[in-house]
Amino acid sequence: AMWRAIDAGYAYFDGGSRPRWRKARGHWHRMAARAGSTPQLVSALEGAIAELRDDHVMLVSPGKSTGRRIPYDLDIWPRWREGTVSIEAVRTFGDADVAGLHAGQVVTRVQNVPVESAVREMLGAGRSTIPDIEWALRRVLAGPRIGLQRIDIREARRESVVEVERTAPAPSTSPPILARRMGDERDIGYIRVRIGAANGDLAPHFAGALGHMTGTRALILDLRESAGPGSREATRSILSRFATQPTPWQVRQAPGNPRATDTVEPDGATYTAPLVVLVDRWTAGEGEALATGLVAVAKARVVGTAMAGLRGELHEITLPVSGIVVRYPGERTFVAASGAPREAFQPSLPVDLSAPSGGPGDPILYRALKLLERR
């Protein structure tokens, strides 16, 4: 059932992924048929979807997962640059951050294995693109769910070893919405939205927080903390609070079909002052949809790094007997404001975390506040 659904409906097959997917079918089908338990079945299904090398293809199992959800449980964002693995970003307060890793460092070994060898083992034989390599790197650096992860790094010609104590991702006690006023005159609103938070419905919380921003001359919307995939209802509800008229916010295209445009209607009191959206590599899934939607709906300026780059609009199928849910991109998505693929979106004001301005602290928020300074 999973193979048929993905083979017919996955929106991002190309000249490399479709042959690889079809070639591997027999092997993973046999592994799934031999599975004697749910964990064994999940392992076989995960092996199959790994052939797609797409972070937005995922399983939701009735049992506990043994791995880390990427990008949601990842705390090191690696990049492959001319044969070198560099750290582009480290998630604030994550295990890697606590251990002392930071943007700009070069990774040479993980768990005593040269990082190139670890990637090659994960990808297998055959040609690999840079996106393939970086997909594998994210899994290599995600580390075990629990335990010690040894990472060899190089920085300014000095080499050292960092031991990252991996702890099981714990449910956050942070509220889904955090709102306050900022600036010398407290006239800049700030709302942090935890997309995918499990502790409450975002839409009414956001409406309440936005109501307290009446009279502010600008608003900063912080979308850098995605706890999970999020909900489309919350995305549309938040967008509606910035729409002054029916406005296109996203374009979708299923395989073999024409493009379809999604429109949002105004709902409630509309916030019309300038809007700045903060994003980083952990702005993922619905967070990316919301950020790019706000560019179209509210002419928002986006500050930060590239986002997670999760591709497409999710479709899902529930497998019979096991009840495992398989989610995969069934439609390509495009930014309504430009028509460009959503996964390729870049901030209008990029921030290089390996050489930030403004000193220690939060360089992305610093850049946003500088942008909103009175001239």
pLDDT tens digits for range 328-351: 999 999 999 899 999 999 999 999
d(CA 13, CA 56): 13
Q: Is pLDDT above 70 for 31?
A: yes
Is the entire prediction scored with pTM above 0.85? yes
What's the average model confidence in pLDDT over 225-254? 95
More confident residue, 361 or 65: 361
What is the residue extent of each domain of the chain? 2-60, 76-166, 177-309+345-371
Place of tokens 């693929």: 341
Place of tokens 């995922």: 58
- Provide DSSP, 265-296: ---SSPP-S-EEEEE-TT--THHHHHHHHHHH
Output the CATH code of domain 177-309+345-371.
3.90.226.10
Q: Is 66's pLDDT higher than 70?
A: no
Domain pair 76-166 / 177-309+345-371, same fold: no
Quick count: other Cβ atoms within 10 Å of Cβ 339? 9
Question: Which of 3.40.50.720, 3.50.50.60, 3.40.50.300, 2.30.42.10 would CATH assign to domain 76-166?
Answer: 2.30.42.10
64 pLDDT band, cuts 50/70/90, is low
Local structure of 48: helix, strand or coil: helix
Q: What is the pLDDT of residue 197?
A: 78
- Provide the pLDDT for residue 249: 98
334 and 341 Cβ atoms separated by less than 8 Å: yes
